[in-house]
Homo-oligomer: A and B are copies of this chain.
Amino acid sequence: MGERTSLDAITAWIAANVDRLDDEPVARAAAAGRVAAHDVVATAPLPADDYAALDGVALRAAETVGASAYNPLAFRLVDGSAALPPGGAVHVAAGAPLPPGADTVVAHDQVEIAASCCTIVEPAEPGSGVDRAGAHVAAGAALIRAGQRVRPSTIGALAAAGIVDLAVTRRPRVRLVPTRDGDTDRDLLSALIGRDGGIATTAPAERARATLSAALRAPGADLVLVVGGTGPGADDHAAAALADAGALAFHGVAIQPGDTAGVGRLPTGVPVFLLPGAPAACLWAYELIAGPALRRLGGRPIGLPYGRRRMTTARKIVSNIGVVDVCPVVRTVDDRIEPIAGFGEAGLGAALRADGVVIVPEGSEGHARDTEVLVYLFDE
């Protein structure tokens, strides 16, 4: 492990070397949260025709001109199955098609209704009370654009437009290759990968350089994460195994925790990240390096999927210069933030106790008290 590379350089490497995966079809109802691979357009207007937007009587707006409390106008209630005759009105329920000829719907509580006629006491606007054909979505307009995430409302609109399935970016297949036995990093990473839309599988632990290198080269993964063995110790073979299997681009990153992380790729182009085995370092090397790459493969925004808020420091936050320092913080009773014991000292315990983190850039020694800073909040 040589000089530590800046996180900015790693991020640039990811942008240059990691591409969005190809796409696959998915049923509309199962598409929530997936990322559209292409624009999907409405082939017909929505609504397809003019529909009543409320319960009321449908009539011709032009025939209501001049109506007032002093000049109530009567309309003959007719059956709605045929075209509307002059002077006629038809009871319609919200969502029902307008009878041909009608162009407005007056709500029931605005109308005086008798057995065979109804009386209007103010003029109705054409189009009022009507969902006009194409008013929601015009024919040819996008229901979703390439790169957008499918929201619940998108699924509703796709259903309304009769679109059964759509192309979404394939979920990245992530292979974890541990260098020692143990559940902690595997379960931690599997949860992170699931959160970011990936599908995790875990290979058997490989300690030796040759077998580790072979495990990296095995086909079937879009992203490989080596877990542990990233340090400078005699038993640490992750970097050498990656160099054997493909190319090691960087080993050592200026982040804390996680500074023994590494980056490279296989001859097939599949990116490989070396994550430290200490759980807190594994967590942050994932969050700052592997996670952005995974989200990029899956077509998602690469930023940390946490809540973001500008908050004020109640105590100063001290950071090491020369590294991107991940500082755990808690919210105070007056909704400011203060630092707690860091990941180096408290490991995953810091993640359990923190409400979020402040990420202090490489060139900074931290933040003074009473400074407004960007906070990444875990639970928002």
Q: Is the CB of B283 within 8 A of A156?
A: yes
What residue of chain B has the Cβ atom nearest to residue A51's Cβ?
B278
Shortest C-beta distance, A282 to chain B (Å), equals: 8
**Which residues of chain B have C-beta atoms less than 8 A from A183's C-beta?**
159-160
**A73 in contact (CB, < 8 A):** no
Residues of B near A143 (CB, < 8 A) are 352
Given contacts A53-B278, A233-B55, A277-B95, contact A152 B349 (CB under 8 A): no
Contact with B along A175-203 (1 / 0, CB 8 A): 00000100111111011101100000000
Which of A129-137, A211-219, A241-249 faces chain B?
A129-137
By the criterion CB–CB under 8 Å, are A352 and B154 in contact?
yes
Question: In the complex the two chains form, is A152's CB within 8 Å of B232's CB?
Answer: no
> Cβ of B93 and Cβ of A149 under 8 Å apart?
no
Which of A62-70, A74-82, A340-348 interfaces with chain B? A340-348
Beyond A152-B188, A187-B28, whether A348 also contacts B157 by CB under 8 A is yes
Interface residue tally for chain A (C-beta within 8 Å):
72
Chain B: CB-nearest residue to A303 = B380
Interface residues of A in 228-279 (CB under 8 A from B): 231-236, 277-279
**A225 on interface, CB distance cutoff 8 Å:** no
Q: Which residues of B lie under 8 Å from residue A21 when comparing CB positions?
A: none
Query: Is A367 at the interface (CB under 8 A from chain B)?
Result: no
Cβ–Cβ contact A136 & B53, under 8 A: no
Q: CB within 8 A of A283: which of B153, B301, B352? A: B153
Q: Does A336 contact B (CB under 8 A)?
A: no
Find the B residue at minimum CB distance from A191. Answer: B152
When the two chains form the complex, which single residue of B28, B135, B378 contacts A349, counting CB atoms closer than 8 Å? B135
Cα A191 to Cα B91 with chains together (Å): 34
Give residues of chain A (136-175) contacting chain B, Cβ–Cβ below 8 Å. Answer: 136-137, 141-144, 148-149, 151-160
A307 close to B (CB within 8 Å): yes
Q: Closest 10 CB pairs between A and B?
A: A156-B188, A152-B191, A153-B351, A136-B349, A55-B233, A136-B347, A159-B183, A159-B187, A159-B184, A32-B191
Residues of A at the B interface (CB closer than 8 Å) are 28-29, 32, 46-47, 53-55, 91, 93-95, 108-109, 131, 135-137, 141-144, 148-149, 151-160, 180, 183-188, 190-192, 194-195, 231-236, 277-279, 282-283, 301, 307-308, 344-352, 378-380
A-B contact pairs, 10 of them (CB 8 A): A47-B347, A55-B232, A93-B235, A136-B347, A137-B349, A153-B188, A153-B351, A156-B279, A156-B348, A160-B348
